[in-house]
A = this chain, B = another copy of it.
Amino acid sequence: MDKLHTLYYFLDLAGTFAFAISGATAARQRGLDLFGICAIAFTVACGGGIIRDLCIGAIPPAGLTNWRYLVAAIIAAGTTIGLYPFVRRLNRPVLFFDALGLSLFAVTGAQKTLAYGHNAEVAVLLGIITAVGGGVLRDVLLNRIPVILEKEIYASAALAGASIVVAGNYLNWLSADWISIIALIVCLGLRLLALRYHWNLPVYSNDKAGHD
């Protein structure tokens, strides 16, 4: 399954790139300068993984040591700046790669946590944090409520993916590779279906207190 790992590697960079594009686009729309756009692109791409690595004791965090992530973020920022009309029209592919990044980061985040010897709860929580942490930091830095807390099946898809990895690992189903492929497909599928059919989690209006 060596080809699988080459595929993973490619998908990981594609996900990083898509996350960075989403950060750079948001930063550009808020009127940040060149440095700000690069910083937000890098934060979205690597922020979740950095928090995970701090929590599992993987020092220094991979997001800071591996130049490929930094280069992917800078290329994404450059693309967003130079080819903005093109990137805007890319909306659909970007959403697709963002969903792919979400799925990959949830799966690899949970796997890395298990590999460091931590328990199931830590692995599920850090799988989610790896997947959504960068987007939360982006929204905090751009001074708005993180969109993933407000609507859409997004973190919930990451929860599903990370849970499958952890359950598979404990129950010793199949091989680790098959488990991660299943987790990936479930998370990606959930996210794409949610996008397609506008699935949202329930919101509890506070004005109608007592009526729900």
- Interface on A for B, CB 8 Å cutoff? 27-37, 39-40, 50, 54-57, 59-61, 64-67, 70, 81, 84-85, 88, 118-119, 121-122, 125-126, 136, 140-146, 148-152, 155-156, 200-206, 209-210, 212
Question: When the two chains form their complex, are residues A64 and B122 in contact, meaning their CB atoms are under 8 A apart?
Answer: yes
Instruction: Give the residue among A30, A36, A118 with the most B Cβ atoms within 10 A.
Output: A36
Copies of this protein in the assembly total 3
Residues B143 and A143 in contact, CB atoms below 8 Å apart = yes
Contact residue among B33, B59, B150, B202 (Cβ-Cβ distance under 8 Å from A149): B33
| Residues in B neighbouring A61, C-beta threshold 8 A | 55
Given contacts A64-B121, A64-B122, A204-B84, contact A143 B141 (CB under 8 A): no
How far, in Å, is A191 (CB) from chain B's closest CB?
A: 13
Is A31's CB under 8 angstroms from B203's CB?
A: yes
Q: How far is the CA of A157 from the CA of B67 in the complex (A)?
A: 21
* A30 pairs with B145, CB closer than 8 A: yes
Chain B residues within an 8 Å CB radius of A122:
60, 64-65
